[in-house]
Amino acid sequence: MQLLRKILFPVSLIYGLVVYLRNYFYDKGILSSKTFETPTICIGNLSAGGTGKTPMVELLIGILKDNYKVAVLSRGYKRKSEGFVLADNSATVETLGDEPFQIFSKFSDITLAVDADRRNGITTLEKEIQPEVILLDDAYQHRKVTCGFSVLLTSFGNLYVDDWYLPTGNLRDSKKESSRAQIIVVTKCPENLSEEVRKTILNKLKPESHQQVLFSYLSYDDTLRTVDSSIAFDDLRTKEVTLVTGIANPQPLVDYLMSKGLRFQHLKFKDHHDFSNSEIAILRKKQCILTTEKDFVRLKEKLNHLYFIPVQHRFFGDGKSILKEGLEEFMK
């Protein structure tokens, strides 16, 4: 795979040129970007996948929902519906996509919609719902909309400053576009991250005067959950555990489980994997399946003995307070 990526280096140069021209046209006003009346907050990244966007969206919902009427707008990647879809009691993974359905399942007191056309999605939400703030999930590179506040995520193990354009690397946008963010979060850091390493990363990122750089790690729950029950993590030690992942980067979860001394078989699938009937038949023979929350919403109607491990971002130092203050200042 790495050899193929290197062979495709000329393609990445063409990709980078297209990205440069696109951003240039937006910067010069040749392509138009629309600003909406409703405050919009963008959560996204410059590299493809694996930075923890969904837990970050959930964190921002938790910060905002008690004081504002919140709506979340997502593309709804790999959903089987088209156009604008407003989540309701009939919503499924097929109509919303796995990550939006996960969010909708956890937060019944907010509005969630999906639309690949972000302009149309925001316009429809303003007309039908009148939210006080809209969170745009995975929309950093969608410059047809000018967001008022942007949270840019970059993974500790693959900083955007060390990356290169697709398909040789994982960059889907120019590194210099990081300047549009108010908050940069370095995610998936080791829990023992030293101050010296943080300073090294700051020197690499070179944040501008209007930007705050925060550091977070993924915190996994010791209680595993299913549809209507839960078990303690230690209860897994008496079972034959199969870890099933269909996410971009399962390594932090694998590392966590290994650090807990859990023995398991790992079945790794690509991000947003659509499990076939034959794969489901194989999984049904497993004694105990542990999976991610995103995979759980796609598998829970098809498998028994299925548990997911909740995860959330935890910040180093006063990172969460800085994020809250930034959001509060923006919403004034």
Q: What is the CATH number of the domain that holds 181?
A: 3.40.50
Same domain, 249 and 177: no
Same domain, 194 and 231: no
Position 205 pLDDT exceeds 70: yes
Total structural domains within the chain: 2
Same domain, 141 and 289: no
Same domain, 147 and 235: no
Q: What is the pLDDT of residues 306-328, one digit of tens each?
A: 999 999 999 999 999 999 999 99
**Residue 49 known to bind ligand:** yes
pLDDT of residue 153: 98
- The Cα–Cα gap between 5 and 24 comes to 27
Bond prior to 167 in cis (omega within 30° of 0)? yes
- The Cα–Cα gap between 216 and 104 comes to 24
Q: Is residue 113 part of a domain?
A: no
Q: Is residue 97 part of a domain?
A: no
**Residue 48 known to bind ligand:** yes
Q: Is residue 270 part of a domain?
A: yes
Same domain, 213 and 286: no
Provide the 8-state DSSP code for 240. Answer: -
- The Cα–Cα gap between 38 and 123 comes to 10
Q: Is residue 265 part of a domain?
A: yes
Query: Residues 284, 285, 289, 292: what is their CA dihedral angle, to the nearest 10 degrees?
Result: -40
- At residue 6 the predicted structure's pLDDT band, cuts being 50, 70 and 90, is confident
Q: What is the pLDDT of residues 85-123, one digit of tens each?
A: 999 999 999 999 999 999 999 998 999 999 999 999 999
**Residue 52 known to bind ligand:** yes
